[in-house]
A = this chain, B = another copy of it.
Amino acid sequence: MAERRRLGYNVHREVLDEGEVEEMAEKSEEKTSLCENFNKSMRCSGPRMKKCLLGSFPVLSWLPRYSIRENALGDLISGISVGIMQLPQGMAYALLAAVPPVFGLYSSFYPVLIYFIFGTSKHISIGTYAVMSVMIGGVTERLAPDSKFEIQDNVTNLTIVDDVARDAERVQVAAAVTLLSGLFQILLGLVQFGFVVTYLSEPLVRGYTTGAAIHVIVSQLKYTFGINPVRYSGPFSLIYTVLEVCYLIPETNVGTLVVSIVAIVGLILAKELNAYLSKKLPVPIPVELLGVVVATLISWQVDLNGKYKVDVVGLIPSGLQPPVVPEASLFGQVIGDAFALAVVGYGIAISLGRIFALKYGYKVDSNQELIALGLSNTVGGFFQCFAISCSMSRTMVQESTGGKTQVAGALSAAVILVITLWIGTLFEELPKAMLAAIIYVNLHGMMKQFLDIPALWRSNKVDMVIWVVTFVLTLLFNPDLGLAASIGFSMLTVIFRTQLPKYSLLGQVPDTDIYRPLEDYNQVKQVPGILIFRSSATLYFANAEMYQEALGKKSGFDITKILSAKKKLEAKRKRHEKKNARKAKKDAKKNSVGMEVEPEEKEHRDVAVIDMDPEPNPSLPRAIILDLSPVNFLDTVGVKTLRGIHKDYGQIGIEVVLAGCQTGVVDNLQTGGFFNDKVTKSCLFTTVHDAVLHCQSSITQSQEKPLYENFTGTHF
Contacts and interface: CB of A to CB of B under 8 A. Distances in A.
B560 A363 contact: yes
A671 interface: yes
A543 B198 CA distance: 7
Interface residues of A, number: 111
B202 A637 contact: yes
Contact of A15 (B9, B458, B498, B501): B9
Contact of A520 (B27, B462, B686, B690): B27
Contact of A522 (B28, B357, B520): B28
A567 interface: yes
Given A511-B13, A682-B1, A697-B4, A202 B541 contact: yes
A253 interface: no
Contact of A509 (B25, B516, B682): B25
Given A630-B662, A632-B632, A663-B517, A4 B21 contact: no
A660 interface: yes
Contact of A8 (B14, B497, B668): B14
- Most-contacted residue by chain B among A20, A456, A540, A693 (CB, 10 A): A540
Given A21-B509, A27-B521, A460-B635, A560 B9 contact: no
B494 A9 contact: no
A494 B24 CA distance: 33
A248 interface: no
B8 A12 contact: yes
Given A12-B10, A463-B635, A537-B632, A458 B523 contact: no
Given A14-B9, A498-B494, A693-B9, A522 B198 contact: no
Contacts of A537: 632-633
A305 interface: no
Nearest to A354: B545
B460 A636 contact: yes
Contacts of A640: 202
Nearest to A630: B632
A332 interface: no
A510 B25 CA distance: 8
Given A14-B5, A21-B514, A361-B564, A541 B460 contact: no
A133 interface: no
Given A198-B544, A635-B201, A636-B202, A8 B4 contact: no
Interface string A196-219: 001101111000000000000000
Interface string A111-146: 000000000000000000000000000000000000
A509 B24 contact: yes
Contact of A632 (B22, B497, B660, B694): B497
A546 interface: yes
B546 A198 contact: yes
Given A13-B9, A632-B537, A564 B459 contact: no
B462 A522 contact: no
A633 B463 CA distance: 12
Given A7-B694, A542-B494, A632-B536, A520 B663 contact: yes
A460 B10 contact: no
A700 to B, nearest CB: 11
A540 B635 contact: no
A169 B42 CA distance: 62
A11 B694 contact: no
Nearest to A524: B25
Nearest to A10: B12
A512 B11 contact: yes
Interface in A7-54: 7-17, 20-22, 24-28
A631 B632 CA distance: 8
Nearest to A697: B7
Contact of A693 (B7, B361, B463, B542): B7
A537 B198 CA distance: 15
A710 to B, nearest CB: 21
A460 B494 contact: no
B11 A9 contact: yes
Contacts of A662: 536, 630
Contacts of A682: 1, 4
A606 to B, nearest CB: 22
A560 B361 contact: yes
Contacts of A8: 12-15
Given A360-B564, A536-B633, A4 B26 contact: no
A499 interface: yes
A460 B672 contact: yes
A462 B523 contact: no
A83 B224 CA distance: 75
Nearest to A200: B541
Interface in A532-591: 536-538, 540-546, 560-561, 563-565, 567
A140 to B, nearest CB: 30
A491 interface: yes
A701 interface: yes
4 A-B pairs with the lowest CB-CB distances in the bound complex, closest first: A361-B564, A201-B541, A26-B522, A25-B521
25 contacts: A4-B682, A5-B20, A6-B14, A9-B12, A9-B693, A10-B11, A11-B11, A16-B514, A21-B514, A21-B516, A24-B509, A24-B510, A27-B520, A198-B543, A201-B542, A202-B637, A202-B640, A361-B564, A456-B636, A494-B498, A514-B686, A536-B633, A538-B538, A538-B632, A630-B630
Given A9-B15, A687-B687, 15 more contacts: A1-B682, A6-B14, A11-B512, A11-B513, A16-B512, A26-B523, A28-B521, A201-B635, A202-B637, A203-B636, A362-B564, A456-B636, A462-B635, A494-B495, A630-B632
Interface of A: 1, 3-17, 20-22, 24-28, 195, 198-199, 201-204, 357-358, 360-363, 456, 458-460, 462-463, 490-492, 494-495, 497-499, 501-502, 509-514, 516-517, 519-524, 536-538, 540-546, 560-561, 563-565, 567, 629-633, 635-637, 639-640, 644, 660, 662-664, 668, 671-673, 682, 686-687, 689-690, 693-694, 697, 701
